[in-house]
Amino acid sequence: MPSIDMPLSELWDYRPALTRPDDFDDYWSEALSAGRGQPFDARVSPRSYPADGVELFDVALAAFGGGTISCQLMKPAGKTRLPTVVFYHGYSGAGPTPFALLPWACQGFAAMGVDCRGQGGRSTDGAAYPGGHRPGFMTQGIEHPNQYYYRYTYVDCVRALDWLAEQDDVDPTRMGITGISQGGGLTLAVAGLSDRPKLAISEVPFLCHFRRSVDIAAAGPYREVADWMRFRPETAELSWRTLEYVDCMNLAGRIRCRTVVTVGLWDDICPPSSVFAAYNHIEADKQMEVFDFTGHESPVHFAETRFAMMRAEV
């Protein structure tokens, strides 16, 4: 498919005005305070795994506002002061398999995958969402900013990082976070809401610049919002306001860690302009990797780049 967005020369300069509500910082301060005030109630269960020198654990944490967040943690056996890498996954999917965590553990990392509430992994969603919604997760609670799906999910992801940082064998000053698509958006969100990450690698991120993404994305989850507003046009103003609280473009200026972002110039699910809109508002040390002739995907070769960056910088 051909490019559906701006020329690259324009994307580098695309920095639309932020759409933060006036109480944006208070909204997140209150959410994070409530999340960090909730006990983890962690349940850690060792699992056998057919590889030498590593340990695998199932981790269950109390989700923000109800439910359980499930994680898988693999780390080298008998080591301490471990650097960590935390993975957030794509929309409706699940965290990485133990086999995908194995190379990281073999190279000395505590590697943890986090399953998003109610999606394709084992996490459960105990939140109550008032009002109706369209199929999917994008419009669950969209008329109620304090009860919106991604408010809960962002805080869940921060809580998972907080729990890992408290483990005796982890070095809390050496934490990396990463993900693709929804996972890329969650990476940006956590980097904007937590001071724990040292490095954030966000690949073809979702959840950026909602106003433009909903308008031009040809496929994927942004269409759920368009369907909702077409179906319930009277809710549009309030729905947009809710989305503005969780828009990674509005969170980008809060990021303080080194951040690497990737973009595919043929991406019609997470439009390149939405990715650049968030990236161009990041004021921390940052790097953009641009992939020509690439849609909504992470090129195979970038996995090695990501691995090398984490080893060198975390």
| DSSP codes joined into one string, 27-70 | HHHHHHHHHHTS----EEEEE--SSTTEEEEEEEEEPTTSEEEE
**pLDDT tens string 105-120:** 999 999 999 999 999 9
Does the domain made of 8-313 have the CATH classification 3.40.630.30?
no
Which entry of 5, 156, 267, 268 is annotated as an active-site residue? 267
| Res 104 pLDDT > 70 | yes
Beta-carbon contacts of residue 234 (< 8 Å; ≥ 6 apart): none
- CB count within 10 Å of CB 288 equals 16
Residue type, 103: P
| DSSP codes joined into one string, 60-119 | EEEPTTSEEEEEEEEEETT--SEEEEEEE--TT--PPPHHHHHHHHHTT-EEEEEPPTTS
Q: Where are the beta strands (DSSP E) in 146-268?
A: 170-180, 199-203, 258-264
- CB count within 10 Å of CB 314 equals 19
Q: Which of 227, 225, 165 is nearest to 190 (CA)?
A: 165
**pLDDT tens string 271-314:** 999 999 999 999 999 999 999 999 999 999 999 999 999 999 99
Which pLDDT value is given to residue 206?
98
Tracing tokens 């966000």 back to the chain, one arrives at: 202
Catalytic residue at 267?
yes
**pLDDT tens string 226-239:** 999 999 999 999 99
CB 289 within 8 A of CB 305: yes
Catalytic residue at 29?
no
CB 184 within 8 A of CB 177: no
CA 177/CA 268 separation, integer angstroms: 25
CA 193/CA 31 separation, integer angstroms: 10
Residue 30's pLDDT band, with cuts at 50, 70 and 90, is: very high
Which pLDDT value is given to residue 3?
65
Tracing tokens 């580098």 back to the chain, one arrives at: 12
Catalytic residue at 26?
no
Tracing tokens 């109390």 back to the chain, one arrives at: 62
Q: Which of 192, 208, 220, 196 is nearest to 262 (CA)?
A: 208
Which entry of 156, 268, 296, 298 is annotated as an active-site residue? 296
CA 292/CA 303 separation, integer angstroms: 17
CB 190 within 8 A of CB 161: yes
CB 14 within 8 A of CB 6: yes
Which entry of 123, 125, 133, 181 is annotated as an active-site residue? 181
How many secondary structure helices (H) and strands (E) does the chain include?
11, 10
Which pLDDT value is given to residue 4?
73
Residue 1's pLDDT band, with cuts at 50, 70 and 90, is: very low
**pLDDT tens string 267-277:** 999 999 999 99
Helix axes 149-165, 24-36, angle to 10 degrees: 50
Please name the helix (run of DSSP H) or strand (run of DSSP E) that holds residue 124, with its range, or none.
Answer: strand 124-125
pTM strictly above 0.75 = yes
| DSSP codes joined into one string, 266-300 | T-SSS-HHHHHHHHTT--SSEEEEEETT--SS--H
What would you measure as the largest C-alpha separation in the chain, in angstroms?
59
CA 95/CA 101 separation, integer angstroms: 10
**pLDDT tens string 33-82:** 999 999 999 999 999 999 999 999 999 999 999 999 999 999 999 999 99
